[in-house]
Chains A and B, each alone.
Chain A
Amino acid sequence: MNKTTQRILNNSTLVLFAIVLLTFSILSHHFFSFQNFFNILVQASSLAIIATGMTFVLLTAGIDLSVGSIMFLAGVISGKLVVAGFPLWMACTLVLVIGVLFGLINGAFIFKAKVIPFIVTLATFYVGRGLGLFISETRAVNLPESFLKIGSTKFFGVPAPIIVMTIVIIAGHLVLTKTIFGKHLYAVGHDEVKSRKAGIPVDGLLLKVYIICGFCAALGGLVAIAQLGAISPTFGLQSEFMAIAASVLGGTSLFGGRGSIFPGTLIGVLLIQSIQNGLVMVNADPYLYTVITGGVIFLIVLIDSIRHLQQKKLKRLGIN
């Protein structure tokens, strides 16, 4: 195994991303344009924000399945309020509060009651969606123009969703790489018992992580709603899986302790969105979409497992 192949393996997502960009640029002259890259970024913004929160959770070897439900419930409540005449800022704040509350509930159950994250967040997944459907009476909530305006506002020519996404990613990246909280996060993800021995406040940390994830889910939902103009009863369905897929594509390990938001998760999100965008650009057969998305995930997982096998081998040889 020479160095170049090793490097390609280590940056498989980035390489794949480059290949995808190149392929679509050749296939469609519409793809490689400034405007279209802007489009991809706008479309990626919601997922990127949610996936940022998810990355925090995955790094601690946890999982949050309630993300899509948080988006939906928070959206429905704020939407209903705005329709009822409440001011926009109040609704938006409330959305974020609901996100934080959900995170608090998830986190509290996980570290107080010691229930595994999968079960806790599966429960809140059902509760959130159920409440949302109940409140909306399973009808689309159509939002006033003012909501859509936030989505299409531009600052210095940059659409608001891109700005929000950038802030979230930079903040997330800084927290992970430049703060002691971030370092502790990786430590806890690697080994919780060792972390406790090292005096890391594991419980408080887990609570914070799920709050961050809930907040990001609500914010990501808000960004999506501001573009959609309506919340249908299926809004946010399977968003958690998209977020997990994006994080994992970006190199975050489901076993915790490994991964990054920048470039990792961001690349993962952009890869997914670019493929979706490119397929529409070349007017691909609809049946191809799922095949290609599945293929990409398969490829990444394959590369990942090859990489792991090699590391294991190196370890056995005592080189590592």
Chain B
Amino acid sequence: MTKLVGLLLVLCSCKDIKDKTTIGISFETLQTEYWVASIDALKASCEEYDLVYLEAVANGDANRQFEQVNNFISRGVDGIVIAPKDAHTIIPIIKAANRAGIPIAIYNRLPAENPGEYVTVVADNYEISLNTVRHLGRLARKKGKKHKAMILIGDLGDMNAINRRNGFNDAVAEFSDIIEVVAEVPTEWNQEKALAGVTNALQANPDINFIFTCSDFLFPSIISALKNADKYHKIGHPDHVILGGFDGDAMAYRMLKEEYLDADGVQDVYFECESAVEALLDRINGKEVDELIVDPGFVIHQGNLEEKSASMWGSKY
């Protein structure tokens, strides 16, 4: 379906392609909110710079993505932004773009090796989750008592999931006097597994009072499990479980507003998209650009909610 829509958009945008600078946007998938927000932000950035864009979604198929990029190249786009399937399949794509002399910006994933000329825009998953968990740690210290912690980790084949887990582990280590990690729940990015995992962990350790999830989209599962154990309470309630997440989606935004969520690590989608488009434009105009643009992200919490909510992508949805 998404492919169909993409195709239609490509067809519709055929007409005025010649006179304006054209960017090809290729996404591996649109299967999570984060990707949808990203592609929306990219399109917004393109419009801001008065660029024409073509978009294509590969639905998780690396081969198809390669073909789509080749199509962009033969259509004569001026630049390409790509959210690749994975760190390896991007390499031939970069080579193809380089051969055609078309600048390419890679969104959200680092290529496994350096095959040529490109710009990478990535969020520092490690740093963001480290800072988020540090914030949670300080909250725990303020409460004074000992905390038992649980982390929901993502697919172990996903570098981003690993970095978030590492960030959590290193941050918790700084608070080892008051925080003990008693449960690591692998979710494989699956809601049902997350619900079962959290329920089971609460069964094994009824005194868990510190939960961090490597992705916000697992919050409904956490809430459901907490409610069943009668542990879902607002901040300030004596039985409140310290909650932290990562992504910055709509659910997290609402939970922050309703004072259930303590802190959320946010990838600055707007910064990333804008940087990607700017870098491409600079390349197209022959300027030197950094090879790696790192999005430091930010931690949003009850203390800075007003000020930061505008840059949190989830607040728009």
Contact = CB atoms under 8 A, between A and B. Distances in A.
Interface of A: 28, 30-31, 33, 35-36, 39, 42-43, 46, 130-131, 133-134, 137-140, 142, 148, 151-152, 224, 227-230, 232-235, 237-238, 273, 276-277, 280-283, 285-287, 289-290
B31 interface: yes
B176 to A, nearest CB: 16
Contacts of B221: 228-230
B195 interface: yes
Contacts of A151: 224
A222 B15 CA distance: 46
Contacts of A30: 203-204
Nearest to A71: B192
B204 A234 contact: no
Interface in B1-55: 1-5, 30-33, 35-36
Contact of A280 (B33, B204, B223): B204
A224 B201 CA distance: 19
Interface residues of B, number: 43
Contacts of A28: 204
A160 to B, nearest CB: 12
**Interface of B, helix, strand, loop or mixed by DSSP:** helix
A282 B36 CA distance: 37
A287 B5 CA distance: 38
Given A30-B203, A277-B196, A140 B217 contact: yes
Nearest to B223: A229
Interface in B204-256: 204, 217, 219-221, 223-224, 227-228, 249-251
A280 B200 contact: yes
B186 interface: yes
B37 to A, nearest CB: 9
A228 B187 CA distance: 14
Nearest to B30: A138
B35 A138 contact: yes
B203 A283 contact: no
B36 A139 contact: yes
A133 B30 contact: yes
A157 to B, nearest CB: 15
Interface string B179-190: 000111110011
B141 interface: no
A134 B3 CA distance: 10
Given A39-B200, A139-B317, A281-B204, A276 B193 contact: yes
Contacts of B89: none
Given A273-B196, A276-B197, A280-B200, A142 B186 contact: no
B33 A140 contact: yes
A235 B189 CA distance: 10
Interface in B96-138: none
Given A138-B35, A139-B33, A286-B184, A280 B197 contact: yes
Contacts of B199: 39, 42-43
B315 interface: no
Nearest to A139: B33
B190 A238 contact: yes
